[in-house]
Amino acid sequence: MEVRVGSSVLELVEGDITQQDTDAIVNAANPSLLGGGGVDGAIHRAGGPQILEECRRIGGCPTGEARITNAGRLKAKKVIHTVGPVYYRDGERAPELLASAYRNSLRLASEHGLRSVAFPSISTGAYGYPMEEAAPIALKTVMDYLREHPEIERVRFVLFGRAAYETYRRALEDLVGG
Ligand code: ADP
């Protein structure tokens, strides 16, 4: 599914974030930036040791912020590493921290002249954010950003599995009144 937001496109696909040919892919990292499971493990496995080496030099990333590295062997040019909230730990602050993770990732893409960005569903794996709650926040934050930032031409949400795709599709239809 895809919708226009201003002059940009927001699209939902079912797939694997490591296979995307967008200028940047976003990693759902942890604050150490030293690798983990889920999306993070998949990106480092597919991209090779160069990404982890750069992450080591950066030295970490607070929750809600983002950092950028090269993309090693991946098709994308850059990896943007962001740290989403831990649902049960961050409590009331979780929604705003989740929105910040998306916004700060897009800001980095704009600053680096990257025109297309692929996101996974941040925080909805090991970090325990229910996908039904995370999806509308993720989508609304990205749509609000795109309306103000036409330099980002395409944002693709890459959802892992049919159930995740359907959850995002329903949330997007609710947002655009479909
Ligand atoms: P977090 O620690 O932020 O929760 P995870 O990597 O554990 O991050 O999970 C985030 C989401 O990414 C989950 O919904 C998970 O199913 C999904 N996911 C896992 N592997 C991939 C992949 N290769 N591509 C896209 N999404 C993935």
The type of residue at 35 is G
Query: Is pLDDT of 178 > 90?
Result: no
The values of phi and psi at residue 27, to 5°, are -100, 130
* Nearest CA among 120, 98, 116 for reference residue 9: 116
Neighbours of 139 (CB within 10 A): 23
SS3 (DSSP) at 126: coil
Whether 40 is catalytic: yes
Q: What is the tens place of the pLDDT at every residue in 1-11?
A: 999 999 999 99
**CA–CA separation, 126 vs 23, rounded Å?**
26
Q: What is the tens place of the pLDDT at every residue in 37-77?
A: 999 999 999 999 999 999 999 999 999 999 999 999 999 99
**CA–CA separation, 72 vs 101, rounded Å?**
23
User: What does pTM read for this prediction?
Assistant: 0.98
Q: Which of 16, 21, 23, 40 is catalytic?
A: 40
124 C-beta closer than 6 A to ligand 1 = yes
Tokens 């974030």 correspond to what residue?
Answer: 17
Contact call for residues 83 and 105 (beta carbons, < 8 A): no
Q: What is the tens place of the pLDDT at every residue in 8-31?
A: 999 999 999 999 999 999 999 999
User: Atom 3, ligand 1: which residue's CA is nearest?
Assistant: 123
84 C-beta closer than 6 A to ligand 1 = yes
Could you give all domains of the chain from N- to C-terminal order, each with its CATH number?
2-176 (3.40.220.10)
